[in-house]
Amino acid sequence: MTCPVPKDQQPLNEYIELKEAFFYRWAKLTRSQYLQTIFLMWLGFTVLFAPVAISIESPSRHLVQFICVAGIGGSVGLVLPVLLLLSGWSHVKQRLDSDKVFYEESGWYDGQTWEKPEADLVKDRLLVTYEIKPVLNRLQKTLLGLISFLALSFVTLNILNK
């Protein structure tokens, strides 16, 4: 049976497009490349937030507090791209994992549902298990690390300002 879903809406093609997209492919980099990219993004957000941090804490008088505030700004800035990565990869996972595929033929409120054949479903679920779940785990750990860093920074600021 041929798949009636348009090529650009087929879950496998959505996965291929996602993993090749400039922004989303960062999540599949090697561990060291991924950590380097995340660190550089954090550093960029921290530098962008530095003027706000200067207005909150003077670096000449309270250097550690200034660094904490700038780091908080960098972390908050980094949370947004990580959430976007997580959202995109989760969407593709859900589409591949599902036994039915919702699609639109012409884009004008004519949605249809196609049930995947068992062989396609097995292949898609293997792809989810071995390719997508590790990416989602990495992104979830990154988000947890950012939240932990934010909590630690707030605690440090609170202790230093007493």
DSSP per residue, 14-74: HHHHHHHSTTGGGGGS-HHHHHHHHHHHHHHHHHHHHHHHHHHS-TTT-HHHHHHHHHHHH
101, 11 Cβ separation under 8 angstroms: yes
Average pLDDT over residues 13-24: 95
The model's confidence at residue 107, banded by pLDDT at 50, 70 and 90, is low
| Distance in angstroms (rounded) separating the CA atoms of residues 67 and 47 | 10
Question: Exposed, middle or buried by CB within 10 Å (0-12, 13-18, 19+), for 50?
Answer: middle
Q: Which pTM value belongs to this model?
A: 0.89
pLDDT of residue 161: 81
pLDDT of residue 108: 66
pLDDT of 67-105, one tens digit each? Answer: 999 999 999 999 999 999 999 999 999 999 999 988 887
Residues forming beta bridges with residue 102, ordered by sequence position: 113
